[in-house]
Structure 1
Amino acid sequence: MGTTKPRPSARESAPKVQSLPEKTFIIDNGAYTLKAGYASESPPTNDIDQALSACSIIPNAIAKTRGNRIYIGAQLSTQVTDWNEMAFRRPVEKGYIVNWEAQKEIWETSFFDEKTVRSKDLRIENPEDTTLVLTEAPNALPTLQRNADEIVMEEWGFGGYLRCVGSSLNAWNDLQSLFGDPVGQEPGPLVSPKECLLVVDSGYSHTTVTPLYRGQPLQRAIRRLDIGGKHLTNYLKEMVSMRQYNMVDETYIMNEVKEAVCFVSNNFANDLEQTWQGNRRRGQPDSNEAITVDYVLPNPNAGKKGFMRPHEPLSDAKKRKSILSGAGAEALSEDVLLLGNERFTVPEILFTPGDIGMKQAGIPDIILQSLSVLPTGLHPSFLANVLVVGGNSLIPGFLERLKRAAADSVCRMPRKGSAPSRPHTFHVAWGVPNGN
């Protein structure tokens, strides 16, 4: 009789789990910029500047100048001096990577090529010894997700790889200091996500509201507004081109103008009344001066960048006088945009998209729509932990307007059962901008 071989134990027969590489590289692949860097081994410090020093911001675009010179990624931040009529090619559209040919070129230049990487701390020398964490916008199409997974692993072969919704990483951050939580927690070896967090991400391509429960996005409650920083820039281009200079081809310059002069009004009707030129004809005091500003366009020939300055009503007369006196060469070379109600009507479309004919709800309303599909008992927890990220959150007045408008919307929410003894607390904190 033959001897039977002993059967292996369950522990021996179980496949061995391969450990992940120690180094973790994170890419927040936004439509306007990439935010990338190695994850630190120690927890982030209370010094926000030190914590952000490991993160590099890189333009996510390939650009061509009037002279047909090509700039890729980080080269746009360091080598370009003339932005006039610059043409951009962006691999991300509507928040999703749709052009991997361009995206690969930007990644290679920014992270892999030793000759072009901006910093040694940003270079990925051995992808097989690195874990990649790649963020994506919510509700990405499965085809786009498969394309990303295949290209990342086939082109570079990372030792570990995670693709996740960008907002989900916010739940793992140190949010106590942002929200001013009076209940202190001792730092321990285990890190846990915030239990309830409502992330409002207003970036370049769109604005999303993502409720997170213990770090996991609640898919059915995610809401999206198809307006982002790109739409604000295009809207400003149209307004200025109709009223003053033709700036249709000056996307970068008008984006700089937007970031320098725009603000979110907390009293739109009042500010619009102040900037109405009819007030002057009716003999009313001119309160327009507090809102109207001049923006001096950049002059690459003179090496001058664009800048905002207080509006001078008599600037045209002074300019003509200096020209007649023969001392106006510098004044003659200045091209100035006069910006009044454009400053606040442009970002207003984030709150009232109907102003430009879009049949979508504004940011406060999509917050309300997101909450409406969640259990009523969770509403107070989400409303007490609202985190606002994205480049548009940097617009002056954005947080104040969002807090007031969303609180008003929440008070009008229909509630099942008996009314609570007091309204929900609406607590907003600002986080590090993402860039979808």
Structure 2
Amino acid sequence: MKNLVVDNGSYTVKCGFSGDQKSPQITANTVVRTRDGAIHTGNAYLSQHSQYSGMLFKRPHEQGNLTSWEIERPVWDIAFEELRVDAKDTRLILSETPFQLPQLSINTDQIVFEEYGFDSYYRAVPQALVDWVEHDEAEGENGVNSSEQKLTRKSTKKDVKPIKSNFSLIIDSGFNCTWIVPMLYNNVYWKGVRKFPLGGRAINGLLRELISFRHYDVSDEAVLINTIKESTCFMAQDYKKTLSNRSSHDCVFVLPDFKTTTTGYIRDDSTKRSKNSDDSEQQVLHLSDERFTPSEAFYHPEIIFNSSTSNSSKIHSSTFKNLTDLIVESLMTCPVATRPMLSANISIVGGTSKMKNFKERLSHELTSELPMDWTVRIRENRYDSIDMAWHGGVSLSEDDRLNDVCISKKEYFEHGPNWCQRQFGFKNQ
């Protein structure tokens, strides 16, 4: 029996067989239509360099919920075909967003058993799978103060022994939103789960508005905006101080001309020489505070509504909880004895968390909000932040306890579609 682990994210699908692969196969979770009307599924759009401008992306997730299997099914078909998946002899370990609507979860169960015909099946939230990954101990220079921690990858050192804690706080910042999930003894503490409705999509939207208002209209340039975000944006350690010195963070981004570049790049002396192009022929963006203002919405969500076109006075006068507030709220709902241990065992995962200074800023904000005698420690990931949940699913597949909690196809057809929801739903976990 093979174990297929699928981390079904809203931006990418990470899938692969446990034991056979050291890293997952990553497929873009989208269907793309180019300006010429052609449809591309998954990673196929990446090869259409001349069509990057004006691409229209349609994703199966809305507000974090898997709502469209008409889009998801072709993406899975391509990913499974490349892996040569034989569902009849395969056990599926699938990740699903927390608090998924029950009917949408039932739809997923039906697709898994009735359409694909997997032999057996286990469904869990990705943050619970992350907790199955053994972390390397990442202490500061004095072993306590997280503000002095070194965020270097220590997993390659032979003298570092992996440790596993019974208490951990998983902060998963993805494309659609950011989840705060406390884990107690490998179980999700559902009363403490919080959702911060900002992620990579929101940063892209704010960046698009700023550039369109100040420079050029890039409202139809989804690929370009994402490239600018990944190559230039960062999280300011102190927003007011960084804003007052924004000239020191100026950079020049060369827009694609589809001759020398199809994605654009940051111009410096080395790239200028390598491209051998005349400055007068280049269209460029001079970016300064655009590099760090969009990401500041994580700690000042009112930035989004102040920049919106809404005229509602109630929206502009409302108080919105930022990421730090929700993390503190999540900790305070947990049992009193576990709170300091959770703050000392924080794991940050997700694609948006790879933004420069993301971990350092969050550590600073939590240190200033939590009691002085608590340790705030962000633990070092053994794997890439994007595929931590997939590696956790691989670790789970090697545990004998999985045989006791997964559901077979025979059990599904005996008990009906609601059986998986009763076993895997958040109310019973």
TM-score category, normalised to shorter length: 0.7 to 0.9
- Map 1:33-432 to 2 at 5 A: 33-40=12-19, 53-112=22-81, 117=82, 122-124=83-85, 126-177=86-137, 194-275=165-246, 288=247, 290-310=248-268, 330-357=278-305, 359-411=319-371, 423-431=373-381, 432=384
Deviations 1:186-238 (A, max 9, x none): 99xxxx97410100001000001000112111111001111110010011000
Q: Distance in 1 between matches of 2:242 and 2:160?
A: 45
Q: Distance in 1 between matches of 2:360 and 2:16?
A: 31
Shift of 1:301: 3.9
Q: Is the 8 A contact 2:9 2:29 kept in 1?
A: yes
Shift of 1:176: 3.4
**Which amino acid in the other structure matches residue 350 of structure 2?**
G
Shift of 1:396: 0.6
Shift of 1:84: 0.5
Q: Relative to 1, partners in 2 of residues 1:111 and 1:330: Cα closer, same or farther, differing over 3 Å? A: farther
**Which amino acid in the other structure matches residue 82 of structure 1?**
Q
Q: Is the 8 A contact 1:59 1:77 kept in 2?
A: no
Q: Is the 8 A contact 2:11 2:30 kept in 1?
A: yes
Gaps of 5+ in 2: 140-153, 306-314, 390-429
Shift of 1:299: 2.1
**Which amino acid in the other structure matches residue 254 of structure 1?**
I
Q: Distance in 2 between matches of 1:156 and 1:199?
A: 31
Deviations 1:317-360 (A, max 9, x none): xxxxxxxxxxx984344211111111111100012112223743
Count matched residues: 352
Name the SS for the 1:300 alignment partner. coil
Name the SS for the 2:385 alignment partner. coil
1:25 aligns with 2:33: no
Segment of structure 1 superposing worse, 388-397 or 69-78:
69-78
Query: Which residue in 2 is equivalent to 1:9?
Result: none
Q: Distance in 2 between matches of 1:213 and 1:193?
A: 12
Gaps of 5+ in 1: 1-21, 42-50, 276-287, 316-327, 412-421
Query: Which residue in 2 is equivalent to 1:281?
Result: none
Name the SS for the 2:218 alignment partner. coil
Q: Relative to 1, partners in 2 of residues 1:155 and 1:306: Cα closer, same or farther, differing over 3 Å? A: same
Shift of 1:309: 2.5
Q: Distance in 1 between matches of 2:239 and 2:160?
A: 42
Q: Is the 8 A contact 1:292 1:310 kept in 2?
A: no
Query: Which residue in 2 is equivalent to 1:16?
Result: none
Q: Is the 8 A contact 1:201 1:434 kept in 2?
A: no
Name the SS for the 2:94 alignment partner. strand
- Greater relative CO (CA pairs within 8 A, separation 6+): 2
**Which amino acid in the other structure matches residue 158 of structure 1?**
F
Deviations 1:43-102 (A, max 9, x none): xxxxxxxx8x43121111111111112211121344544310111111111212110011
Q: Distance in 2 between matches of 1:26 and 1:178?
A: 28
Q: Relative to 1, partners in 2 of residues 1:186 and 1:433: Cα closer, same or farther, differing over 3 Å? A: closer
**Which amino acid in the other structure matches residue 291 of structure 2?**
R
Q: Is the 8 A contact 1:131 1:159 kept in 2?
A: yes
Percent identity, aligned pairs only, is: 30
Q: Which has the larger radius of gyration?
A: 1
Q: Is the 8 A contact 2:136 2:379 kept in 1?
A: no
Q: Is the 8 A contact 1:171 1:214 kept in 2?
A: no
Q: Is the 8 A contact 1:194 1:213 kept in 2?
A: no
**Which amino acid in the other structure matches residue 429 of structure 1?**
R
Q: Distance in 1 between matches of 2:69 and 2:335?
A: 40
Deviations 1:93-125 (A, max 9, x none): 12121100110011112213xxxx2xxxx221x
Q: Is the 8 A contact 2:91 2:120 kept in 1?
A: yes
Normalised by the size of structure 2, how large is the TM-score? 0.77
Q: Relative to 1, partners in 2 of residues 1:177 and 1:193: Cα closer, same or farther, differing over 3 Å? A: closer
RMSD after superposition: 2.6
Deviations 1:381-417 (A, max 9, x none): 1011100001111111111000010111112xxxxxx
Q: Is the 8 A contact 2:49 2:262 kept in 1?
A: no
Q: Distance in 2 between matches of 1:342 and 1:186?
A: 41
Shift of 1:305: 3.3
Q: Distance in 2 between matches of 1:133 and 1:424?
A: 36
Query: Which residue in 1 is equivalent to 2:385?
Result: 433
Q: Distance in 2 between matches of 1:211 and 1:253?
A: 36
